[in-house]
A and B are shown apart, each in its own frame.
Chain A
Amino acid sequence: MSAPLTVDNVSKTFARGGLLSRRRVAAVSDVSFTVGANGPEIFTIIGESGSGKTTLARMILGLHRPSAGRITLDGTDLATIRGSAARHAFMAKVQPIFQNPFEAFNPLKRLDHYLFLTARRFAGASSTAEEERLTDAALRQVGLSLAEAKGRFPHELSGGQLQRIAIARALISRPKLIVADEPVSMVDASLRMAIVNQFKALRDELGISIIYITHDLATAYYISDRLIIMQKGHVVEAGDARTVLAAPQHPYSRQLREAVLLPETLAVPSTPTLSSTP
């Protein structure tokens, strides 16, 4: 059973400006939701730039402290986490996946270095053999293997492969929650669905809840169970993904819905023979 994440009336303001004239700018205002209360789910946060969705994600990852409100994971208030042991215990439960797979790993370093390190620090691997075993198991869950990733540099792999390795790295610590900030917006179209389907598999097979952050309503519809739509730091609409996207209520949600460029009226091509892999 997945541990529920509770976001409780959370706000975040940033100080801007110089030493004397500091203005406070609200990035997130009074946001509340829970994730994973009724089993693993894909929870989507939809918003444009400036909506506060990334700030919210960073607060859930413990990278920012909320200015007001409370975020709890597994019953632990994130604000009470102090010291490296507690931080590591928290990070083992919540792992991030980022937007640009080419940026997710240091281009000057070998990829496996991050995977082995995660196995050592979070999964309790104490020997090289154990590190490799845990890493290989995680890579196999995303359709790769250690043999394909070992000793490779980021530029030797495609964006889709890198993003899958980033997911595999996040899986090594057996997290309860994965926070994915625009994970497919920089991935090529032919590889995008592999990543998106991967998230579904994580939810269904490994029982991991996923917070999927995006501006793309179509993929949000495709994978999410529940969603919130954010505008300028506020949640303007929340609910079941299909219900909300089929008939959005808030004017802003409706605008977003209408701005989807691919009309449903355009017939879906009938290529059933092709979509089945030989």
Chain B
Amino acid sequence: MLAILRDLLRYNIEFRIGLLLVGTVLGMAMLSFVSPYSPIDVYVAPPDVPPSEAYWFGTSSRGQDVFWQLTFALRNTLAFGFVVAILSRILSLLIGLVAGYKGGWVDRVLMSINDTFIIIPLFPILILFYFVLRDSMSWVLLAVIMACLGWAYDARLIRSVAMGLKTREFTQTSLFSGMTTREILTREHLPYVMPIVFSTTMNNMNWSIGLEVTLSVLGFTDINTPTIGGMIYWANQHTAIVAGIWWWIAFPVIFIVMAFVGLYLLAVSMNEYIDPRSRLARVGGGGS
């Protein structure tokens, strides 16, 4: 794994740029731990100060330092994306691998559930959840809801790979070596779907962050937890653009775009090198 990372750094420009962007965003998020302010306190700084030496990214109309506010917002947004991605990856792996390997009625049942989730209109459902739950809607709950809604496409993708793996002869060899279904899925098939899991993790993070930002901007989330969307929501509430407080919107947008592009580049470049085929080519498999 270390060798792969080293090779990627040395030979892949996309990976380098992606790593730089994500690294910057992550570094920013990490700074939140040394913030002099609490993220929920308002009027801790003079309002509406443009970027200056004292306040690098300026201050908001709510009297918050945009720089430090942004560190909290990035941390929460990235954590949100990560939790959604991890939870939905687990779901899609489990359902995709089992459906693909078992086939028959198991596959038919799982795939009809899967297809239901694919065709559910996401946005109205999320807004509905907000109206039902209102105050009890925390970002953790939202993450769980979005994970439950965001696994279906990738489960289908994983299932199609698993169906191919099932017919490979080594699956039969594993079976007749005494492996249980769980062992076959985790030891033999998982390495083949990991590239999909990796690349979809990044894409899924992008998807969930994007959706969270959209919901927050419209005010359909817990607006008291600072997120990128939440920042933009408050900026809009104070008509920041009209008032000329551009830095309140510009910095969150710049950083979220950096996160998007960085994650996308990482997904693309890593996919190329984690793919078993290219890995095999590298270790010298495949003949003339």
CB distance from B176 to the nearest CB of A (A): 6
CB distance from B109 to the nearest CB of A (A): 13
Using Cβ atoms and an 8 Å threshold, which residues of chain A touch B285?
107, 153-155
User: When the two chains form their complex, are residues A155 and B180 in contact, meaning their CB atoms are under 8 A apart?
Assistant: no
Using Cβ atoms and an 8 Å threshold, which residues of chain B touch A99?
169
User: When the two chains form their complex, are residues B178 and A100 in contact, meaning their CB atoms are under 8 A apart?
Assistant: no
Count chain B residues whose beta carbon lies closer than 8 angstroms to a beta carbon of A. 23
Q: A107-B285, A108-B276 are in contact. Are A88 and B172 (CB under 8 A)?
A: no
User: When the two chains form their complex, are residues B176 and A91 in contact, meaning their CB atoms are under 8 A apart?
Assistant: yes
Tell me whether B177 is interfacial, beta carbon within 8 Å: yes
Chain B proximity mask over A142-165: 1 for CB below 8 Å, otherwise 0: 000000000001110000000000
Q: A108-B191, A118-B177 are in contact. Are A96 and B172 (CB under 8 A)?
A: yes
Using Cβ atoms and an 8 Å threshold, which residues of chain A touch B191?
106, 108
Residues 163-179 (chain A) with a chain B CB within 8 angstroms: 166, 169-170
Q: A100-B169, A104-B169 are in contact. Are A155 and B286 (CB under 8 A)?
A: yes
CB distance from B134 to the nearest CB of A (A): 41
C-alpha spacing A113/B64, complex, angstroms: 60
Which residue of the partner chain, among A103, A117, A155, A169, contacts B280 with CB atoms under 8 Å? A155
Q: Which residue of A lies closest to B286 (CB)?
A: A155
Q: Which residue of B lies closest to A99 (CB)?
A: B169
Tell me whether B6 is interfacial, beta carbon within 8 Å: no
CB distance from A125 to the nearest CB of B (A): 11
Tell me whether B170 is interfacial, beta carbon within 8 Å: yes
Using Cβ atoms and an 8 Å threshold, which residues of chain A touch B284?
155
Q: Which residue of A lies closest to B171 (CB)?
A: A106
Tell me whether A257 is interfacial, beta carbon within 8 Å: no
Tell me whether A98 is interfacial, beta carbon within 8 Å: yes
CB distance from A20 to the nearest CB of B (A): 13
C-alpha spacing A153/B280, complex, angstroms: 10
User: When the two chains form their complex, are residues B188 and A117 in contact, meaning their CB atoms are under 8 A apart?
Assistant: no
Using Cβ atoms and an 8 Å threshold, which residues of chain B touch A122?
178
Which residue of the partner chain, among A98, A107, A108, A120, contacts B172 with CB atoms under 8 Å? A98
User: When the two chains form their complex, are residues B173 and A120 in contact, meaning their CB atoms are under 8 A apart?
Assistant: no
Tell me whether B174 is interfacial, beta carbon within 8 Å: yes
Using Cβ atoms and an 8 Å threshold, which residues of chain A touch B276?
107-108
Which residue of the partner chain, among A84, A96, A114, A154, contacts B180 with CB atoms under 8 Å? A84
CB distance from B6 to the nearest CB of A (A): 20
Q: A107-B276, A155-B285 are in contact. Are A98 and B169 (CB under 8 A)?
A: yes
Tell me whether A212 is interfacial, beta carbon within 8 Å: no
Q: A103-B169, A155-B284, A155-B286 are in contact. Are A96 and B188 (CB under 8 A)?
A: no
Using Cβ atoms and an 8 Å threshold, which residues of chain A touch B176?
61, 91, 95-96, 118, 170
Chain A proximity mask over B161-193: 1 for CB below 8 Å, otherwise 0: 000000011101111111110000001100110
Using Cβ atoms and an 8 Å threshold, which residues of chain A touch B173?
96, 98, 104-106, 114, 166, 169
Tell me whether A121 is interfacial, beta carbon within 8 Å: yes
Starting from the known contacts A106-B170, A122-B178, 8 additional A-B residue pairs (CB-CB under 8 Å) come to A88-B178, A98-B172, A100-B169, A104-B173, A106-B191, A109-B187, A117-B177, A118-B178
Contacts from B to A (Cβ < 8 Å): 168-170, 172-180, 187-188, 191-192, 276, 279-280, 283-286
